[in-house]
Amino acid sequence: MTVQGEGPSAGQRCAFVRLGGCNLSCRWCDTPYTWDWTGVGDSGVAYDPRRELHPLPWREVFGRLLAYRVPMVVVSGGEPLSQQSRLVPLVRALAGTGHRIEIETNGTIAPRPELVGAVRFNVSPKLAHSGDPQARRLVPGALAALAAAPGTAFKFVCRTAADLDEVASIVERHGIGPVWIMPEGRVPQELDRNLRALADEVVARGWNLTTRLHIAAWGNRRGI
Ligand code: SF4
């Protein structure tokens, strides 16, 4: 049990489901233990999937989530939509018990119809500084499908004001929004520095600003 740390629902109590596997390999990824089995990320650490991944039937995940007694569940990763067909029964069950559900996604995979309207998608398209090739990180059909889903928010990880020009170009080209800008930062000092560098320009451009509450409150700890 924790709080949603980022985006439109920041600060709200929730439980997290973190899924393994990702179709991108962002060099600054803060959850490399979900996908980086060869050490290609900034840390250079090759994580062991036998230690990191724990397959569970969705009914067991559902039961564990109910025990937290929180109003919201956030599904994150990795890239959750890589295994979205297996998410459908869990989302249906959670919606049936009155939970709000958010799915964090990198925006490269179109959502299944069963998920549209049942969840909020927090879409985080990646900029060039992720190191992922543009053709892999920006998929027009997937962005359009996610933009059309009710409640979707687009959240961009930025370091400098120059990154905001790249965001503006993506937003204009793909016709997506609303936009949230989130400073990159895996430790509080880095997060604070980047937040200060971005804040004025984000407001001036008419976008929303979010921090990363879990980093500010607890630092770079797993399991938060
Ligand atoms: S898309 Fe997300 S989980 Fe995947 S590598 Fe990039 S930051 Fe990490």
Q: What is the pLDDT of residues 114-161, one digit of tens each?
A: 999 999 999 999 999 999 999 999 999 999 999 999 999 999 999 988
Following DSSP, what letter does each residue of 81-150 receive, concatenated? GGGHHHHHHHHHHHHHTT-EEEEEE-S-SPPPTTTBTTBEEEE----GGG---HHHH--HHHHHHHHHST
Residue 6 CB less than 6 A away from ligand 1: no
Tell me the β-bridge partners of 75: 17, 103
Tell whether 50 is covered by a domain. no
- Answer yes or no: is the C-beta of 9 below 6 A from any ligand 1 atom: no
| Residue 38 covered by a domain | no
- Mutate which of 106, 108, 159, 186 for ligand 1? The one with the most ligand atoms within 8 Å of its CB, which is 106
Mean pLDDT of 81-105: 97
Question: What integer is the mean pLDDT of 214-224?
Answer: 74
Residue 47 inside a domain? The answer is no
Q: Is the peptide bond before 78 cis (omega within 30 degrees of 0)?
A: yes
Q: Model confidence at 167, in pLDDT bands (50, 70, 90)?
A: very high
- Does ligand 1 lie within 6 Å of residue 31's CB atom? yes
Residue 49 lies in a domain: no
Q: Which two tokens stand for residue 61?
A: 């995940």
Mean pLDDT on 9-27: 94
Mean pLDDT of 37-63: 95
Tally of structural domains, the chain = 1
Query: Ligand 1 in contact with 107 (CB < 6 A)?
Result: no
The mean per-residue pLDDT over the stretch 18-26 comes to 97
What residues make up the domain containing 97? 2-24+56-218
Does residue 94 lie in a domain region? yes
Q: Where residue 212 falls among pLDDT bands split at 50, 70, 90?
A: confident
Name every residue whose Cβ is closer than 8 Å to that of residue 210 and which is 6 or more positions away in sequence: 6, 7, 8, 10, 155, 180, 181, 182
Cα-to-centroid distance, 25 and ligand 1 (Å)? 6
Dihedral sign, Cα of residue 23, residue 27, residue 30, residue 31: positive
pLDDT band of 222, cuts 50, 70, 90: low
For residue 130, report the distance from its CA to the centre of ligand 1, in Å. Answer: 9
Closest protein CA for atom 8 of ligand 1: 29
d(CA 13, CA 133): 35
On the question of pLDDT at 6 being above 90, the answer is: no
Could you tell me if the CB of 160 is within 6 A of ligand 1?
Answer: no
36 assigned to some structural domain: no
User: Measured from the CB, is residue 109 less than 6 Å from ligand 1?
Assistant: no
**Position 83 in a domain:** yes
Instruction: Read off the pLDDT of each residue in 184-194 and give the average, rounded to a whole number.
Output: 88
Q: Name the pairing type of β-strands 153-158 and 120-123.
A: parallel
Q: For position 62, which CATH number holds?
A: 3.20.20.70
Task: Please state, in angstroms and as integers, the Cα–Cα distance from residue 16 to each residue in 4, 30, 55, 111, 189, following that order.
Answer: 8, 15, 16, 19, 25
Residue 48 forms part of a structural domain: no
Ligand 1 neighbour 43 (Cβ under 6 A): no
